[in-house]
Amino acid sequence: MDKKTYTGGCLCGSVRFSLSGPVDVVNCCHCSRCRRRTGSAYATIVHAAYSHFQFTEGEENIVTFNPDGWNSRRFCGSCGSPLPGWDEEDDEVGIPAGLFDEGLDVSPSLHIMTASKASWHEISGNIPQYEEFPDDW
């Protein structure tokens, strides 16, 4: 069993978290929603069990946009960094990969939602690409 603990946090350092279990998968999502919330060509998201995740500092600084909506997102109220989103029922957390401190030893294994990727972005590398989601998701 992987006992490694990963840590990370927002740009200003007020919100900090730890992940004390294995990473399930890291994906690159090219949907328009991820593009907007990151301001980037795509979002690189680390998926893991929510039961292995916890905020260690600054939880009171988390602002939630549209809490019950399909485009709900959380960010740091001080610096605006995008923060992890989770589903407690499904025991799943999605953590923007750029938030991790050094030492994340896993890398993306797939691109998803490539049918809606930015027209100005060309996907490189040779990990699998899916126009939407893989069949087994």
Q: Which is nearer to Zn ion, 4 or 134 (CB)?
A: 134
Query: What is d(CA 1, CA 20) in angstroms, rounded to the nearest whole number?
Result: 11
Q: Which stretch in 33-41, 49-57, 91-99, 126-134 sits in contact with Zn ion by CB under 5 A?
A: 33-41
By rule CB under 5 A, what count of residues binds Zn ion?
A: 9
Residue 12 in the binding site for Zn ion (CB under 5 A):
yes
Q: Which position among 19, 48, 76, 83 is part of the footprint of Zn ion (CB under 5 A)? A: 76
Contacts of 61 (CB under 8 A, 6+ apart): 14, 15, 76, 77, 78
State how far the Cα of 46 lies from the Cα of 49, in Å rounded to an integer.
10
Contact between 78 and Zn ion (CB under 5 A)?
A: yes
Residue type at position 48: A
CA torsion angle 107 25 33 122 (round to 10)? 40
Which listed range, 73-81, 85-93, 94-102, 117-125, lies at the site for Zn ion (CB under 5 A)? 73-81
Residues that bind Zn ion (CB under 5 A): 10, 12, 14, 29, 31, 34, 76, 78-79
